[in-house]
Structure 1
Amino acid sequence: MHESKKVVPMPELVELVAEYRRQGKRVVHCHGVFDLLHIGHIRYFRQAAAMGDVLVVTVSPDQHVDKGPHRPAFNQALRAEAVASQDAVSHAAVNLWPTAEETLRALRPDVYVKGSDFKSVESDPTGKLQREAEVCKELGIELRLTQDIVFSSTNLINRFLSSFDDDVQEFLDVFRSRYSIADIEWILEQMSKLTVTVVGDAILDDYQFCSPLGASSKEPVLVFTHEGGDLFAGGSLAVANHLANFVGRVHLFTVLGEKDSHEEFIRASLRENVVPHFAYQANAPTIRKRRYIEGYSMAKLLEIYHMDSSGLEETRDAAFREALAAQAASTDLTVAADFGHGAISPACRSVLSAGPFLAVNTQANAGNRGFHTISCYERCDFISLAEPELRLDARDNASGVSILAERVQKRTGASLLAVTRGKKGSYVLTADGVDVLVPAFVDKIVDRIGSGDAFFSIASLAAKLGVQPDVLAFLGNVAGCIAVGIVGNKKAIDRATVLKHVTSLLK
């Protein structure tokens, strides 16, 4: 059978498998990305085919390939065609779901086979194979693991088909010579032992999606149709969720409004290991930033702030500061996600500056621009700023980033200072004057909102652990790369996804 006829839609594959089983044939199922078919895949298919009468293979759809930036190298149609070209394969289909769990439920094969890169069910750090094994047990499907030589599509693509430009490739070649995937895994494991206090503004990111109709016939007004909306937990809430996926416990100190508090939504949005400590601002709403967005391009059209940035009245702020100081003293580090909207008062900043290890990000935005910079902190251990925020603090749009970073570092006593520079990557300066520039690994941007928070979160943990500056910037850039592929703060970055990206870059 020609390979083009062997590739079928998923619903048809379900019917074919059911028919084969009615005929008494033993159906074997393989599933994977198969991005750049190689000899390891070919042997895998041959071994799997020998376990039954019919071999069917499902291919991960493009949107659910989590191998890292610039992947897949080949689209789902080409990958399915390559799989179907193998004589051992009877049928191939592009999967409809993110993982194989629902696929197994739909196909119900007799045998499910995984390749030689898995030594055991427990060896998959992502947990996907464990969940697939549970489905197999539930449905009575035999789970088998093949044993043969192991090749890596990722390694082959990185060596011969890299889509990165020369500067990025050169950095990765040098980085691979210094650090292994195991080194990064060890750092992530050390992060899991930390406890963190987070303080900052609670922000609700309100996305309203619309599409343009045109200009009004009566007034000079652009008209859009509303297509729906989403509400995300942003600001310090997002930072707490990012951190919670890497550490043991997070204590979150933030301020909600007594009016329109959205407290139920906020509590439901926080990870299980985030312990919230809420203060309440009288006669104010919880901060909500409503963005009107053209749904196809994700272009931001208009932004409206619902907030009162005057902060807590003194009695409540004093109680907030006292509780924060006590908690911070018992955790490994304090992370201040300071958006300048009143949750962290000047008195609170003084308390933080006098406390233990302090990581700070002061964000410039339309609600505070020109009034809120890193200069409001007397002391920091780690600072993360976007380049425009660094320049705003210095009132200098001409000098080099390294010169401005050194001034801030000397003034605050920070042992590490990171500057995110968008498509240029990130810059890190140590107290000893060692500086590194690490390129960005992004190939596709869905939404920039929250990428700086993701960088700041994982970089803060790396700073506390005292890792090398190039490793700190590398991990921060990986986190930022993941975040720009997510709409708003719909999903927090997590250890498994970071490790997948790291593996895709370093193999």
Structure 2
Amino acid sequence: MINSIFKKKIIEFDKVGHIFRKLRKRKKIIHCHGVFDLVHPGHIRHFDHCKTKADILVVSLTPDMHIKKGTYRPLIPQQMRANNLAALELVDYVIIDKNKFPHDIIKKIKPHLFAKGMEYFLQKNPLTVKEKKIVESLGGKMIFTPGDFVLSSTKIISENKISLKYEKLKVLMDTEKINFNELKKIINSLKDIKIHVFGDTIIDTTHNCEAIGGLHKTPTLSILKRNSIDYLGGASIVSVHFKNLSKNVELTTLTGDDKKGRFARKELLKKKVSLNNINEHSRPTTNKNSYLVDRHKLLKVDELVNSTILDKTIDVIAEKINKEKNKLIVFSDFRHGFFNKFTAKKFVKAIDKSCFKVADSQVASRWGNILDFKGFDLISCTEKEARYSLFEQDLPIRTLADELLKKSKTKNLILKLGHKGLISLNKKRKDYIVLDPFVEKLVDSNGAGDALLAYSSATLFKTKSLIISSIIGTLAASCKCEIEGNIAVSIKQIEAKIDEIEKILK
């Protein structure tokens, strides 16, 4: 936890005017403003020079939501940036601004001096000109600190691989006032949740092969198949993840009257998932085949029918949804016939108001639209799916999350960023929850999104905390990445991961 002395330096935005109104009468105040994504020697020299000009150095920083320096910036979330600045002896007060530009915060502080780096003097930036006018209108003066040592956070970040996964986790745990033992207790408290999963069943078949050469007349690779392994996928493996944390899991899905369908039903029976299986005569079980050589994926071959399910099937599913009360309802969307624009509308309408609604889009070979599930308690999707849904290719990731939260009318959003982790957002909170994966040895990332969905949504249903659910979901996804094949994560594996992280942070 951040030192209490440092913590006292961080002032809430709404209290700034009152505090500095009194302080300004007794002390000379100098004010600096910036992103400070990565505090470097250039910043230290800037602060050091500022401190020689006044009694009190106050530093305000741009909030995450208004930073447009790059798609995944800032690297360091705003609370961590504030903590870093507060830990500096040179800095007396730190404020996380609420606005894109520091105009309002300058008016609240009314500093005697407002300081910027010399590069801003040389650039003749119109934003700097406006800041100067505001400062001078309040009786203050703008100064520029010497620019003999200039560094760029952007340049440092782009040229170096920087990992702050444990620091980000610790800040979030401190914010929520939760420890590692409490995380374990929460995971073990989910066993009585009643869950009903709806979606396509997929059988993921891995064919392990050996490269034996190529044909001379055509550029064709020749491989020898050594073995094949079937794994549950789609909504079926999602339901098994849920079964590992709860006693009460039901699945409504479609499987064909074929070998893969029989495998799916047998596995689900073995895992004690309550199964509502629907069979359509002309629809085979969706089967996705991956051909690997030394764990390198050479080719994917799908056997499936993507046409929409029959009208009578839609009615059966809608009726099952409508009968559920006070349950966690999970729509696991893979777009292989179960969900589309028309069925989603009917299924969403059928959900009783007493239920906790979750929708997840994990479309691999097709296009989905997470906006088909509006007004849910939680939605999750990948960055790519979010961009498809919003027709936005270039927005920074936090702005993208803001837009998706707004358009979807969801209460909570988890945006999956692959190897970059996740960013979560709550309708009532202005700050972003940013977490990196805790994968020590990547074995197989296939199915990580399923683990994230199950553990995060069950935790959110239980605790109503997006921070805690994002942490537990990330831990589950990280555990899955360290397992070969699409196999459900157990509570014991997550507890072991928690122990591993706790040792590192001690």
Q: What is aligned with 1:337?
A: 332
Q: Does structure 1 conserve the Cα–Cα contact (< 8 Å) formed by 2:333 and 2:363? A: no
Partner amino acid, structure 2, of 1:373:
N
RMSD of aligned alpha carbons: 2.1
Q: Measured at CA, do residues 459 and 421 of structure 1 come closer, stay the same or move farther in structure 2, by a change above 3 Å?
A: same
Which residue, out of 308, 321, 331, partners 1:311?
308
Task: Measure the CA separation in 2 of the matches of 1:259 and 1:457.
Answer: 28
Residue identity opposite 2:245 in structure 1: F
Alignment-derived partner of residue 471 in structure 2: 474
Deviation at 1:480, TM superposition (A): 0.9
Answer whether contact 2:438 2:475 (CA < 8 A) is retained.
Answer: yes
Query: Is this contact kept in 2: 1:253–1:324, CA < 8 A?
Result: no
2:279 is paired with a residue of what secondary structure? strand
- Matched to 1:408, the amino acid is L
Distance 1:268 1:238 in 2: 10
1:413 and 1:488 map into 2 onto residues whose CA distance is: 35
| Helix, strand or coil at the partner of 1:323 | helix
Give yes or no for contact 1:196–1:331 (8 Å, CA) kept in 2. no
Deviation per CA, 1:304-342: give whole Å up to 9, x if none: 11011113211232122212321xx23521111100111
* C-alpha displacement of 1:299: 1.4
Q: For residues 448-459 of structure 1, what are the structure 2 equivalents within 5 Å?
A: 448-459=445-456
Q: Is the counterpart of residue 350 in structure 1 residue 349 in structure 2?
A: no
Alignment of 1:142-221 (within 5 A): 167-175=164-172, 177=174, 178-221=177-220
Distance 1:411 1:466, change over 3 A: farther
Name the aligned partner's letter for residue 472 of structure 2: L
- Please, which moves more after superposition, 259-268 or 274-283? 259-268
Q: Is the 8 A contact 1:197 1:331 kept in 2?
A: no
1:407-427: CA deviations, max 9, x gaps? 222222211100111222210
Give the deviation of 1:216 after TM superposition: 0.9
Q: What secondary structure is seen at the aligned counterpart in 2 of 1:281?
A: coil
Letter in 1 for 2:261: H
How far does residue 442 in structure 1 lie from its aligned partner after superposition?
A: 1.2
Structure-2 residue corresponding to 1:422? 418
Judged with a 3 Å threshold, the aligned counterparts in structure 2 of structure 1 residues 402 and 173 are, in CA distance, closer, same or farther, namely closer
Where structure 2 has 5 or more consecutive residues not aligned to the other structure, the ranges are: 1-160
The Cα of 1:227 is off from its aligned counterpart by 1.2
Corresponding position: 1:267 with 2:262: no
**1:251/1:275 contact within 8 Å kept:** yes
Map 1:99-498 → 2, pairs under 5 A: 167-175=164-172, 177=174, 178-260=177-259, 262-270=261-269, 272-294=271-293, 296=294, 298-326=295-323, 329-354=324-349, 355=351, 356-366=355-365, 368-369=366-367, 372-432=368-428, 433-489=430-486, 491-498=487-494
Whether the 8 Å CA contact 2:362–2:449 is kept in 1: the answer is: no
Contact 1:357–1:464 (8 Å) recurs in 2: yes
* Cα distance in 1, alignment partners of residues 463 and 344 from structure 2: 24
Q: Is the 8 A contact 1:176 1:506 kept in 2?
A: no
Letter in 2 for 1:388: K
Q: Distance in 1 between matches of 2:400 and 2:461?
A: 23
Cα separation, 1, equivalents of 2:186 and 2:492: 13
Whole-Å Cα distance in 2 between the matches of residues 226 and 270 of structure 1?
Answer: 30
Residue of structure 2 equivalent to 1:501? 497
What is the CA–CA distance in structure 2 between the aligned matches of 1:264 and 1:381, rounded to whole Å? 33
* CA distance, structure 2, for counterparts of residue 360 and residue 473 of structure 1: 15
Aligned residue identity for 1:246: L
- SS of 2:415's partner is strand
Q: Distance in 1 between matches of 2:302 and 2:494?
A: 32
Q: Give the superposition deviation at 1:232.
A: 0.5
Q: Which amino acid aligns with 1:310?
A: S
Say whether the 8 Å CA contact 2:361–2:382 is kept in structure 1.
Answer: no
Q: Deviations over 1:90-142 (max 9, x none)?
A: xxxxxxxxxxxxxxxxxxxxxxxxxxxxxxxxxxxxxxxxxxxxxxxxxxxxx
TM-score by length of 1: 0.63
**Counterparts of 2:359 and 2:262 in 1: how far apart (Å)?**
25
State the shift of 1:179 in Å: 1.9
TM-superposed deviation, 1:352: 3.7
- Answer yes or no: is the 8 Å Cα contact 1:438–1:470 preserved in 2: no
Q: Is the 1:241–1:270 contact (alpha carbons within 8 Å) kept by the matching residues of 2?
A: no
Q: Distance in 2 between matches of 1:503 and 1:176?
A: 15
TM-score with structure 2 length normalisation? 0.63
Query: CA shift at 1:346, angstroms?
Result: 4.1
**Against the structure 1 CA distance between its residues 265 and 252, is the aligned structure 2 distance closer, same or farther, given a 3 Å change threshold?**
closer
Deviation at 1:264, TM superposition (A): 4.5
Q: SS where residue 461 of structure 2 aligns?
A: helix
Pair 1:269–1:305, CA change in 2 (3 A): same
Aligned-partner Cα distance in 2 for 1:474–1:224: 42
Retained in 2: the 8 A contact 1:258–1:283? no
Report % sequence identity. Answer: 22
Q: CA contact under 8 A between 1:259 and 1:284: conserved in structure 2?
A: no
Contact 1:353 1:380 in 2 (8 A): no
Taking the TM superposition and a 5 Å limit, the aligned residue runs for 1:33-44 are none
Q: Which residue of 1 aligns with 2:102?
A: none
**CA displacement at 1:504 relative to structure 2:** 1.8
* In structure 2, C-alpha distance between the alignment counterparts of 1:265 and 1:193, rounded to whole Å: 25
Corresponding residue SS for 2:281? strand
The alpha-carbon distance between structure 1 residues 374 and 284, as it changes in their structure 2 partners (threshold 3 A), is: same
In structure 2, the CA distance between the partners of 1:397 and 1:318, relative to structure 1 (3 Å rule), is: same
Give the partner amino acid of 2:320: A
Give 1:261 deviation, angstroms.
Answer: 5.3
Aligned counterparts of 1:198 and 1:182: Cα–Cα separation in 2: 29
